[in-house]
Amino acid sequence: ETGVTQTPRHLVMGMTNKKSLKCEQHLGHNAMYWYKQSAKKPLELMFVYNFKEQTENNSVPSRFSPECPNSSHLFLHLHTLQPEDSALYLCASSQETQGVEEQYFGPGTRLTVT
Amino acid sequence: AQSVTQPDIHITVSEGASLELRCNYSYGATPYLFWYVQSPGQGLQLLLKYFSGDTLVQGIKGFEAEFKRSQSSFNLRKPSVHWSDAAEYFCAVATGNQGGKLIFGQGTELSVKP
């Protein structure tokens, strides 16, 4: 496996379900990100983890709960979602140093909430 | 606050024709600038980036972009488009004082006519 992988690639869930999205990076990076991509809207940054510590929570509703057990894995736990949460959820990683480095993206999980 | 504007939501060009995708940013100092491409069902792939130095940067797949401070622009160009270039293109900016946080434009969808 290379780069950034995400599972599952597609997920359909009801509003009362609990599910989790998984992201794994094989690049040795120390920062990981969750983005939400809705149709016709810019990518929205949801969470940032640096060295496993959450450094950004972009006013995301509590029905989204991130978890970063180590620098290679990132989860997004989902519960009692709303139909408007249907979107493509992208994970990314980067090697943060003193400045800015490019982010490497996974293929995304297409989430549909029914 | 920083922002990125991609004025063109959708562009159609003929195969073999030249391409220019526009990107304007709002930020007081010199930003870090990126262009990403997203093929259907895929994550984002970095095409090129500008951090400093030569204002004309070369990227992968024959793309280039020019940073123009006076116009706050970072337009993406390709001299001859191929059918495989059909995708969505995103411009992004980072400011260097917010870690790896990227601000994305809304994206430009490129269609290529045979």
Cα–Cα dist A31/A48, whole Å = 7
Cα–Cα dist A66/B109, whole Å = 31
* Confidence at A98, pLDDT banded by 50, 70, 90: low
> Cβ contact (<8 Å) for B102 and A45?
yes
Phi–psi pair at B45, nearest 5 degrees: -115, 135
- Taking only the tens place, the pLDDT of each residue in A64-82 is 999 999 989 999 999 999 9
Mean of pLDDT values over B86-90: 97
Cα–Cα dist B27/B21, whole Å = 20
Query: B109 to chain A: nearest residue by CA?
Result: A40
For A100, which of B36, B94, B105 is closest by C-beta distance? B94
Cα–Cα dist B64/B58, whole Å = 4
The answer to whether residue B100 neighbours chain A at the CB level (below 8 Å) is yes
Tell whether the model's pLDDT for residue B59 goes beyond 60.
Answer: yes
Cα–Cα dist A100/A47, whole Å = 17
Mean pLDDT computed over every residue of chain B: 91
The answer to whether residue A5 neighbours chain B at the CB level (below 8 Å) is no
Predicted local confidence at residue A102, as pLDDT: 86
> Cβ contact (<8 Å) for B102 and A103?
yes
> Cβ contact (<8 Å) for A4 and B43?
yes
Which range (B5-14, B25-34, B69-78) has the least confidence? B25-34
Predicted local confidence at residue B58, as pLDDT: 97
- Taking only the tens place, the pLDDT of each residue in B14-49 is 999 999 999 999 886 778 999 999 998 888 999 999
* Contact assessment for residue A26 and residue A95, using Cβ atoms and an 8 Å cutoff: no
- Mutation pick from A7, A45, A103 vs chain B, by most beta carbons of B within 10 Å, is A103
For residue A83, cis peptide bond before it (omega within 30 degrees of 0): no
Return the number of CB contacts < 8 Å for A and B.
Answer: 62
* Contact assessment for residue B5 and residue B24, using Cβ atoms and an 8 Å cutoff: yes
Give me A58's structure tokens.
């972009």
Cα–Cα dist B51/A98, whole Å = 13
Tell whether the model's pLDDT for residue B99 goes beyond 60.
Answer: no
For A94, which of B41, B43, B100 is closest by C-beta distance? B100
Predicted local confidence at residue A58, as pLDDT: 73
DSSP 3-state of B71:
helix
* Confidence at A99, pLDDT banded by 50, 70, 90: low
> What distance lies between CA A89 and its chain's CA centroid?
6
Greater confidence (B25 vs A56) lies with B25
